[in-house]
Amino acid sequence: MRRLLGRIAFGFSILVLIAPAAMVFLWMLSLSLKNELDNTAYPPVFIPAPPVWTNFEAVFERNDFLGQAWNSVVVSFSATGLAILFGVPAGYGIARMQATRVAVVILIARITPGLSYLIPLFLLFQWIGLTGSVVPIIIIHLVITVPIVVWVMMGFFEGLPAELEEAALVDGATIWEAFYHVAMPLCRPGVTVAVILSFIFSWNNFIFAMVLAGRESRTLPVAVNNMLTFEQISWGPLAAAALLVTLPVLLLTLLAQKQIIAGLTTGGVKGG
């Protein structure tokens, strides 16, 4: 009897733990599927009956939502791709050279507030006339993605025994061949972690595009924030837009939970 009570209490405490997370997302979904009358009803209407799609239609009609989604995709993919291109070899080099000081710079870069990069780079982009397109946004997103990739890969290569590559070197391979043919194939799981984290933090980033984007180069988080500023009362379309912005990331989290947890706990620091 006491054990049963203990179990019920434990189950209840788990429910209490996950309720806030679940409720906020469910409320977001609920708001996005109700008409304006139900959304502003008091007491609140919880279950959309029947669910309506008008909010999502409004999002796609009223704003250049698809264009902004495309900007977000271009920025996040480019920033992640470039970071992998530069960051994977660098992580390898740092691990093999045991370059502790470089690692410290990368760590500090990871945890420095984004605004400290934004002010100087904003001025720089203005000087060289690089404004209005997505190019400056991609460049500044490297501030987030490169340190994440280097950090994750560094940790990963450090955990990889060097013997295999040394054997290849003894057999006459160059260090590039040893890297490309021996280390790279082994580190694919690490690259997956790096890509996922880098993509998510780039996708979620708000402040960089907020300052740097012109009308044509806004990313989704900026677009959604602008909606809040200009349409404070229409909750349905707002919730629908918010849901659409965060949905790719939530799906990615569901699919790649293991990699995300591995990357965040060994890397230890979040990005942004």
Partner 1 sequence: MSVTTAPVAAAVPGTRRRNYARRYWWFIAPCGVVVLATILFPWSFTLYMSVHEWKLGGGRTFVGLANYERLFTDERFQLSILRTLYYTALAVVFPMVLGILAALAFNQKFPLRGLARTIFILPMMATPVAVALVWTMMFHPQLGVLNWLLTSVGLPPSLWVYDASTVIPTLVLVEVWHWTPLVMLIILGGLASLPQDPYEAAKIDGATPWQAFRHITLPLLTPFIIVALIIRTIDSLKAFDTIYVITQGGPGTSSETINIFLYLNAFAYYNMGYASAVVVVFFLIIVALAMLLLWARQRFKDAI
90 touching partner 1, by CB under 8 A: yes
Within 10 Å of residue 103's Cβ, how many Cβ atoms? 18
For partner 1, the binding residue among 73, 74, 175, 186 (CB under 8 A) is 175
Measure the CA–CA gap between 269 and 102, rounded to whole angstroms: 17
Give which of 198, 180, 170 is closest to 264, Cα–Cα.
198
For partner 1, the binding residue among 8, 111, 164, 167 (CB under 8 A) is 111
For partner 1, the binding residue among 58, 59, 137, 140 (CB under 8 A) is 140
Dihedral angle computed from the Cα positions of residues 68, 123, 85 and 88, in that order, rounded to the nearest 10 degrees: -120
189 touching partner 1, by CB under 8 A: no
For partner 1, the binding residue among 50, 129, 161, 185 (CB under 8 A) is 161
State the minimum distance, in angstroms, from the CB of residue 79 to partner 1. 11
- What is the CA 228 to chain-centroid distance, rounded? 21
186 touching partner 1, by CB under 8 A: no
Two tokens, residue 182: 């021996």
180 touching partner 1, by CB under 8 A: no
For partner 1, the binding residue among 92, 134, 217, 237 (CB under 8 A) is 92
- How many residues touch partner 1 under the rule CB under 8 A: the total is 106
Please check whether residue 191 is in contact with residue 84, taking contact to mean a CB–CB distance below 8 angstroms. yes
164 touching partner 1, by CB under 8 A: no
Binding residues among 53-72 for partner 1 as defined by CB under 8 A: none
179 touching partner 1, by CB under 8 A: yes
Q: Which string of x and - marks every residue 229-248 that binds partner 1 (by CB under 8 A)?
A: ------x--xx--xx-xx--
Q: Which string of x and - marks every residue 17-46 that binds partner 1 (by CB under 8 A)?
A: xx-xxx-xx-xx--x--------x-xxx--
State the minimum distance, in angstroms, from the CB of residue 176 to partner 1. 8
113 touching partner 1, by CB under 8 A: yes
Measure the CA–CA gap between 126 and 149, rounded to whole angstroms: 28
Measure the CA–CA gap between 268 and 262, rounded to whole angstroms: 9
- Greatest distance between any 2 Cα atoms in the chain: 76
Q: Quote the Cα angle for 109-113-116, to 5°.
A: 90
For partner 1, the binding residue among 1, 97, 171, 230 (CB under 8 A) is 97
For partner 1, the binding residue among 99, 135, 173, 184 (CB under 8 A) is 99
Measure the CA–CA gap between 224 and 68, rounded to whole angstroms: 10
State the minimum distance, in angstroms, from the CB of residue 52 to partner 1. 17
For partner 1, the binding residue among 75, 142, 168, 182 (CB under 8 A) is 142
Is the bond into 248 cis (omega within 30 degrees of 0)? Answer: no
Stated as kind and residue range, the H or E segment containing 8 is helix 2-32
